[in-house]
Amino acid sequence: MSHADRSAGESDSAVPPESEPEDRAPSDSELGDTVAKLTAEDLEPGQRNRLLGRLVGQVRARGVGDLFKPRAAVKWIADAVGDIAPYVPVRDLDTLRRHHPGLDDDRLAERLVRNASRASAGVGAAGGGVAAIEWAATPTLLTAPVLLAAETVTVVAIEIKLIGELHEVYGQSVPGTGAQRAIPLVMAWSQQRGVNPMVPGVGIGAVLGTAARKEMRDRLLRRLGRNLTTLGPFLTGAAVASYLNRRATKSIGEQVIADLKKRQRKIIDGEAR
């Protein structure tokens, strides 16, 4: 059963970013709901800024620990990705064709990659804009790690959604509920390829407690290093983060498409025999 896109339902009006009450950490579902809305491909900048502001507040309330240390930061982000992955909405093929009528498989896949790249670029631009303001005011060093964590988790969610939807396009749907699909999709993101059909649908904690967690953390460490550009002075951070996010999301989309098409050809050749 696939999830349809959720409507962001946010106003574009200039309002302060929402945050969770300081005495209550947000639940996985609350954090997942905010991230899920940030993965929508049709968000206006004002909506994205507000949602990212809400996410920063939720991350802060959740207790980020010592994110100045790379290992601690990656561990926290890996745990957060595992928590929100079951809530990432993946549209089924019928929904995708309704949203993008008249496109064949390859053109639909290209459209999804383009839109996901734009979404991750928008997150980089929004984060960079926040960072530009923070550099001009204190306490910059207290808010920067929280912003990096929020941006990284959001971009990973956008790319996980893209991977799931590309599987729909090429007739290789990832079966199961959101929680059951989360494991193979997170692993596919870590490996930058299509889902391994041999991975059993076990609990997320069990799989991510194995060597797969190390692979995921290594990938997140590289992603976190790239997202440091968000903290560049003035609006240069926004521009560079936007460009790098777009390029990275486009790259993973193209790699997954190549892998899925290769598998599709093998299936067709096998049936022909």
In a domain, 20, yes or no: no
How much is the pLDDT for 10? Answer: 37
In a domain, 3, yes or no: no
How much is the pLDDT for 167? Answer: 97
In a domain, 142, yes or no: yes
How much is the pLDDT for 220? Answer: 74
> Which residues make Cβ contacts (< 8 Å) with residue 69, sequence separation at least 6?
none
How much is the pLDDT for 66? Answer: 61
* Domain with 212 in it: 28-272
In a domain, 8, yes or no: no
How much is the pLDDT for 172? Answer: 93
Work out how many domains the chain is built from and give that number: 1
In a domain, 19, yes or no: no
How much is the pLDDT for 149? Answer: 83
- CA-CA distances (angstroms) from residue 233 to 93, 132, 144, 206? 42, 6, 12, 41
- List the chain residues with pLDDT less than 50: 1-23, 133-142, 201-209, 231-235
In a domain, 182, yes or no: yes
In a domain, 16, yes or no: no
In a domain, 79, yes or no: yes
How much is the pLDDT for 6? Answer: 39
